Structure 1
Amino acid sequence: MHEMSLMAEMIELLGCSARENNIDKIIKVHLVVGKMTMALPDALTMAFDVFKTEDIFAPSAELTIEQRETIAKCRTCGSTFSAPDNYLFICPTCQGLRIEIISGRELYIASFEGEEA
């Protein structure tokens, strides 16, 4: 489960940012996760629950996850489409294979809230 190591890195980033911004306890974290990352929201939530016992978190800390669909654009015809299969990208309009991924690769902390020290 790579979600545990992903969350460990995010916790480290959150801790550094919280200290830089004089935040004593983090109460809310908002993540953006693209489907192409293969990071499962339920597994990320479970990993967060394990790590939220760290001193940087308030006991009631919450995690919200915004999952982004995989969206692609055909470089041949310009059509934009949702790619339901993260491995095979074929334009539904012209059957072209020259595809640009517009979204679905995201994996970042969009925001967090906390209590000042």
Structure 2
Amino acid sequence: MHEMSLMESMIDIACKTARQHGATRVRSIRLDVGVLSHADPDALLFCYEAVRHGTIAQDATLEINRVPGEGWCLDCERTVALAERFGACPDCGRHRVQMTAGDELKIRDMEVI
């Protein structure tokens, strides 16, 4: 389960960033998780419960925002929805699509005190 190491890293980043800005507690964290990122939001929430204890984020709430898959079709010259990595353009059927969204896993923002 790679979600455990992902959440450990996320908590570490959030706590370090909060301390660098003089905060003593993290109140909330919002994550952007792409639907094509291979990270399961339910597993991330489960792992979050396990790794936040004993940190300055132990009482923080976690919100996960799902980011839809999106790509730029080189043939249609427009942005299209992607349902899978390396998928075909839903309009022209060609596979010349560069993914532009949907594979991210990042901290969007957090509230600290």
- State TM-score, norm by structure 1: 0.88
Rounded Cα–Cα distance in structure 1 between residues aligned with 2:69 and 2:41: 15
Report how many residues are paired. Answer: 113
Q: Any idea what the Cα deviations from partners look like across 1:19-73, whole Å, max 9, x if unmatched?
A: 10111011100000111211111111111111221231253x2000001111122
In 1, are the aligned partners of 2:15 and 2:57 still within 8 Å (CA)?
Answer: no
SS at match of 1:24: coil
State the match for 2:4 in structure 1: 4
In 2, are the aligned partners of 1:33 and 1:65 still within 8 Å (CA)?
Answer: yes
**Are residue 91 (structure 1) and residue 78 (structure 2) matched?**
no
Identity of aligned residues (%): 31
Rounded Cα–Cα distance in structure 2 between residues aligned with 1:47 and 1:82: 30
Task: Show structure 1 runs of 5+ residues with no match.
Answer: none
In 2, are the aligned partners of 1:79 and 1:93 still within 8 Å (CA)?
Answer: no
More strand by share: 1
SS at match of 2:36: helix
Query: Partner letter of residue 98 of structure 1?
Result: R
How many angstroms does 1:77 deviate by? 1.5
**Are residue 81 (structure 1) and residue 80 (structure 2) matched?**
yes
How many angstroms does 1:88 deviate by? 4.6
Question: What is the aligned-residue RMSD (CA, Å)?
Answer: 1.4
Query: Partner letter of residue 62 of structure 2?
Result: L
